[in-house]
Structure 1
């Protein structure tokens, strides 16, 4: 029997507070949403057991130590800022000292774990540089270096990814993929492999840290940067399955 693979996804959730102004009067509404379903479905179809923590859950429940993270073959951060992992509620509210979870991710990868960062407004550096991963322990584990400022590249006209290197992550996928609507600008480290590009910039970069492997995917796994033609693309599931499998040393 094939051993069950476990992956932890943290992030890909948000809450929107709206003010409705109607003349003299106004009222507010609140909506909670998640953008993980395409990625989660793709990984589960590939045999992965997915443990999903929305951002507000990850703030408290994301594993504190590298040892706790070792329960997973790979870990994905997607559109979740560094502060959510740095400021555990017990630290922020009660001033309790706890492990630095960014350092725990780095140490987990160095010990042989798999790690994937997916782009968005709050990963890498993100909008107004609020992702805040530049200069952190997580950047040490990534196969890329990060800008210290807002690193978004908005491409509302669409930009088409292209495979740039032979690699297990893109094995069996067509060379030209559906267009994306934006991405984070990242810089590959010297020993990393640029697997796919968008224009002159990297889209997928793969590398190692210690005994483990890490992957940077510079765009989103769902809307808005990954529009319906991308998430409905026949190669979408295979791409994410192979990213996860490679990160965990399975291919």
Structure 2
């Protein structure tokens, strides 16, 4: 069993309804972490979810706080949300270098998984901005300097190159289609057991004494349709395998 922190995978939406000369706004809050959290809990792991709006104020800032976990998962949450704590951004007070702490923690034996999305890797209009951070050294992939999203509305079927890799958890060779992913380039020496076209879907590597991984598509809609994240038995196998390989569980 691994202790896992999942940061991100939630969002707030504001929409404006216009009815003739009148208009009003409505707001909603959504969590997309359900499929991933439920799959991992069902496999015996302990999962703590830190929603996106709580990340700036509560993301672990040093090795002591990170040591409560075996694996940190960043999913659809940009670098700014991690680095810009309220005291830093709103009051100009020096604070913790939380990405630096995460890098050092992985190097000392921790584990990191980045899951794709509009605010993962480089992301939408490059706003995720991880390429400019120290996590660029940790991840087993090189990120693009521009918007790295590859939208595949007709679907793209992953190609499993190494079905027997332990990090895939026995998910098999036949995977459902995905609707998009973040384009990255595998670093020299990285293991890439699954691809989409010519691009990595699953990439794995080491950093110091720790391990880091990338799953470049989503863990929930829209890039991961229900056929992938809700109906496919291999979904739980895959993410359980990734957790166990990364955390050396």
* Range into which the TM-score falls when normalised by the shorter chain: over 0.9
1:21 partner SS? strand
- 1:205 and 2:203 equivalent? yes
2:91 partner SS? coil
The range that moved more, 64-73 or 30-39, is 64-73
- Whole-Å separation in 1 of the counterparts to 2:55 and 2:169: 32
Detail structure 1 runs of 4+ shifted over 6 Å in the superposition. Answer: none
- 1:144 and 2:155 equivalent? no
What residue is the counterpart of 2:242 in the other structure?
Answer: 243
- Asked if 1 retains the 8 angstrom alpha-carbon contact of 2:169 and 2:240, the reply is no
Deviations 1:207-233 (A, max 9, x none): 000000011000000000000100120
- Asked if 2 retains the 8 angstrom alpha-carbon contact of 1:163 and 1:170, the reply is no
- Asked if 1 retains the 8 angstrom alpha-carbon contact of 2:169 and 2:237, the reply is no
Alignment of 1:79-158 (within 5 A): 79-158=76-155
Find 1:190's aligned residue among 188, 191, 208. 188
What residue is the counterpart of 1:9 in the other structure?
Answer: 6
Deviations 1:131-162 (A, max 9, x none): 00003111111011100110000000000012
What residue is the counterpart of 1:24 in the other structure?
Answer: 21
- Whole-Å separation in 1 of the counterparts to 2:63 and 2:151: 35
1:41 partner SS? helix
- 1:76 and 2:78 equivalent? no
- Whole-Å separation in 1 of the counterparts to 2:168 and 2:77: 26
- Whole-Å separation in 2 of the counterparts to 1:171 and 1:116: 15
- Whole-Å separation in 1 of the counterparts to 2:55 and 2:182: 23
2:238 partner SS? helix
- Asked if 2 retains the 8 angstrom alpha-carbon contact of 1:67 and 1:108, the reply is no
Deviations 1:71-124 (A, max 9, x none): 100000000000001100111112121111111111110000010000000010
1:31 partner SS? strand
- 1:226 and 2:216 equivalent? no
Unaligned runs of 5+ residues in structure 2 are none
The count of residues paired between Structure 1 and Structure 2 equals 247
Deviation at 1:171, TM superposition (A): 4.2
Coordinate RMSD, CA, aligned: 0.9
- Asked if 2 retains the 8 angstrom alpha-carbon contact of 1:157 and 1:181, the reply is yes
- Asked if 2 retains the 8 angstrom alpha-carbon contact of 1:6 and 1:48, the reply is yes
2:135 partner SS? helix
- Asked if 1 retains the 8 angstrom alpha-carbon contact of 2:156 and 2:196, the reply is yes
- Whole-Å separation in 2 of the counterparts to 1:171 and 1:120: 22
Unaligned runs of 5+ residues in structure 1 are none
1:150 partner SS? coil
- Whole-Å separation in 1 of the counterparts to 2:13 and 2:91: 27
